[in-house]
Amino acid sequence: MATTIGAKQQLQRGASCRPARAGLKRAVRVQAIASEPRVAVTSNNGAAPGTTLGDWSPESWRKRTAHQQPNYPDKEEVAKACGEIKSYPPLIFAGECRNLQERLAKAAVGEAFILQGGDCAEAFTQFSANQIRDTYRVLLQMSVVMMFGGGVPVVKLGRMAGQFAKPRSADLETKGDVSLPSYRGDIINGPEFTEQARIPDPWRLVRAYNQSAATLNLLRGFSTGGYAGLKRIANWNLDFMANSDEGKAYMDLARRVDEALQFMMACGLSSDSDIMSETEFYTSHECLLLDYEEALTRLDSTTNTWYDCSAHFLWCGERTRQLDASHVEFMRGIQNPIGVKVSDKMDPAELVSLIASLNPDNTPGRLAVIVRMGAEKLRAKFPALIEAVEQAGQVVTWVCDPMHGNTESCNGFKTRRYDNVRAEVEAFFDVHDAMGSVPGGVHLEMTGDNVTECVGGGSAVGEEDLNTRYHTHCDPRLNAEQSLEMAFYVASRLRQRKEKIAKQKNQHITLAF
Ligand SMILES: O=C[C@H](O)[C@H](O)COP(=O)(O)O
Ligand SMILES: C=C(OP(=O)(O)O)C(=O)O
């Protein structure tokens, strides 16, 4: 029957939700401990994770070159702002990171799939409960499409509650004959093109922390307070639903999930069970602004290891992944699951060295390699990267970021074409098919708002529409409809993959669509 696999996966997810709930409860207790003044620990005595850390400490990155950092005019103010943040509670709990790492390890072997998505840059002026809810809701919808259509559990990882700092290609932005420091994200300076706004202000760190805490609070409320329960699947509709193909396809799928749930309830599944009322949701952002990340790095009292408590998952950007520089130094020591972005400039041997630095114990789920190079280059260069990593015996979770290799300029706007974005996802799945390796997830810049920032897709945003609702402060995001369309495409590829594997094993499965 069409719905059997989807419902079965839901049941499996339900069983694995329990430890996370325990983790959330424990978080309240341990956060109180973790917010006590920090104990200076420079080595890790005996615990399995981090045994190869040597002389790492939360501040050891300061001895290396830190790329893409702001040039604050007043360093004493930076120390004061960071001192405040050091006294604040951590935003996440180390036990949650460990749960996430287990999920990511499953994605590395094809037993789960990662959906990582959210704003390019969160902004102080675009901060409201509705905006958070809308992005969260599209992520939920996308995950249901992928789970039901693709037959795998989906790990939901928001680029939310901390995605503020932006690396830039150029230090200066020029308009006419005026050049000013580039905007580097609201945690650093303002987007307005004025001299004053572009001065890095350290007290923005505190505001970003507070906004992250409030966002996370709401996300936790949505995730465990009933909003995200599968029994509400048909209620997660957005304004465009009735009028678009994606919206109608989603509502049709939601009805079928509903039917499957009715069936499962008739079989004995309780309407009070965890999967009916809550979901797991994790947060992530680029580990860029090291003063901030250091201030939130705390010693976990249960394992005596360090976690960067600004988010569950942090990634190292394409511009800051130099082996001998500060970001890699910082990230090798934190025990959160982490990622590293990789463009076509990456050489296979360099990737192997980078992975060895970031995951010396070769722990499954610890490291995601997030490739972003555009479809054509990906077809040409990605196989050699996979081969080198496999030959080195390294375990990584491969994730596709189809956004950052596809940025172009049009009518004075930065944009991305939906067809190019989709082509890169297609290439990512094709290469894995050919190599026999595992596509572990997608990483998208997207929003629940009805913006006109990327062109194409079923929503038919044209080049001429770019100036109507172009709200991003940095890079263009897929809107809700384009995101959902992408989810249906990913689901179709996950389904194909599952069917192929089943055929090889001589099994028969039927998936939703
Ligand atoms: O989101 C990623 C980067 O911050 C962004 O692509 C840089 O954009 P730029 O090339 O305009 O500086
Ligand atoms: C800056 C980003 O990506 P990359 O490092 O791949 O350019 C990003 O994801 O915001």
Nearest-atom number in ligand 2 for the CA of 317 is 5
ipTM exceeding cut-off 0.95 for this assembly: yes
Q: Is the dihedral of CA 372, 373, 374, 376 positive or negative?
A: negative
- Residue whose Cα lies nearest atom 8 of ligand 1: it is 168
| Chain position carrying tokens 């350290």 | 202
**Ligand 1 touching residue 23 (CB < 6 A):** no
**Ligand 2 touching residue 119 (CB < 6 A):** no
Would the annotation count 493 as a binding residue?
no
Nearest ligand to the CA atom of 443: 2
pLDDT of residue 85: 98
Alpha-carbon distance of 441 to 397, in angstroms, equals 8
Instruction: Indicate the helix (H) or strand (E) that contains 113.
Output: strand 113-118
The token pair at 126 is: 């675009």
The token pair at 385 is: 């990267």
Q: Closest Cα partner for 486 from 476, 478, 494?
A: 478
The token pair at 279 is: 């979901």
**Ligand 2 touching residue 317 (CB < 6 A):** yes
CB 187 within 8 A of CB 161: no
CA 429 to chain centre: 19
Q: Is the dihedral of CA 142, 144, 148, 151 positive or negative?
A: positive
Would the annotation count 417 as a binding residue?
no
CB 171 within 8 A of CB 181: yes
The token pair at 24 is: 């959330």
Quote the pTM value.
0.88
Nearest-atom number in ligand 1 for the CA of 168 is 12
**Ligand 2 touching residue 204 (CB < 6 A):** no
pLDDT of residue 123: 96
How does pLDDT run across 144-198, given as a tens digit for each residue?
A: 999 998 999 999 999 999 999 999 999 999 999 999 999 999 999 999 999 999 9
Length of the chain counted residue by residue: 513
Would the annotation count 453 as a binding residue?
no
Q: How far is the CA of 343 from the centre of ligand 1 (A)?
A: 14
pLDDT of residue 268: 80
**Ligand 2 touching residue 318 (CB < 6 A):** yes
CB 58 within 8 A of CB 333: yes
Would the annotation count 316 as a binding residue?
no
Q: How many DSSP H helices and E strands does the chain contain?
A: 13, 14
In the chain, what is the straight-line distance between the N-terminal and C-terminal CA atoms, in Å? 11
Per-residue pLDDT 10s for the chain (513 aa) are 222 222 223 323 222 322 233 332 322 222 222 333 232 332 333 334 444 678 999 999 999 999 999 999 999 999 999 999 999 999 999 999 999 999 999 999 999 999 999 999 999 999 999 999 999 999 999 999 999 989 999 999 999 999 999 999 999 999 999 999 999 999 999 999 999 999 999 999 999 999 999 999 999 999 998 888 877 777 777 666 667 787 788 888 888 888 887 888 888 877 777 777 889 999 999 999 999 999 999 999 999 999 999 999 999 999 999 999 999 999 999 999 999 999 999 999 999 999 999 999 999 999 999 999 999 999 999 999 999 999 999 999 999 999 999 999 998 899 999 999 999 999 999 999 999 999 999 999 999 988 999 999 877 898 888 988 999 989 999 999 999 999 999 999 999 999 999 888 877 666 655
Q: Please name the residues in contact with 320: beta carbons below 8 A apart, sequence gap of 6 or more.
A: 67, 68, 167, 288, 326, 327
Q: Closest Cα partner for 41 from 307, 250, 418?
A: 307
**Choice from 316, 320, 401, 424 to test ligand 2 binding pocket (greatest atom count within 8 A of CB):** 401
Would the annotation count 341 as a binding residue?
yes
- Let me know if 73 is exposed, middle or buried by CB neighbors in 10 A (0-12, 13-18, 19+): exposed
- Let me know if 478 is exposed, middle or buried by CB neighbors in 10 A (0-12, 13-18, 19+): buried
pLDDT of residue 33: 27
Would the annotation count 475 as a binding residue?
yes
Would the annotation count 445 as a binding residue?
yes
Per-residue H/E/C for 80-105: HHHHHHHHCCCCCCHHHHHHHHHHHH
Q: Please name the residues in contact with 469: beta carbons below 8 A apart, sequence gap of 6 or more.
A: 449, 450, 451, 452, 453
Alpha-carbon distance of 198 to 185, in angstroms, equals 10
Alpha-carbon distance of 438 to 113, in angstroms, equals 10
**Ligand 1 touching residue 288 (CB < 6 A):** no
Alpha-carbon distance of 494 to 147, in angstroms, equals 9
**Ligand 1 touching residue 299 (CB < 6 A):** no
**Ligand 2 touching residue 122 (CB < 6 A):** no
Nearest-atom number in ligand 2 for the CA of 401 is 6
pLDDT of residue 291: 98
What domains are there in the chain, each with its CATH number?
4-502 (3.20.20.70)
Radius of gyration of the chain (CA): 22
Alpha-carbon distance of 6 to 104, in angstroms, equals 20
**Ligand 1 touching residue 120 (CB < 6 A):** yes
CB 441 within 8 A of CB 368: yes
One-letter identity of residue 73: P
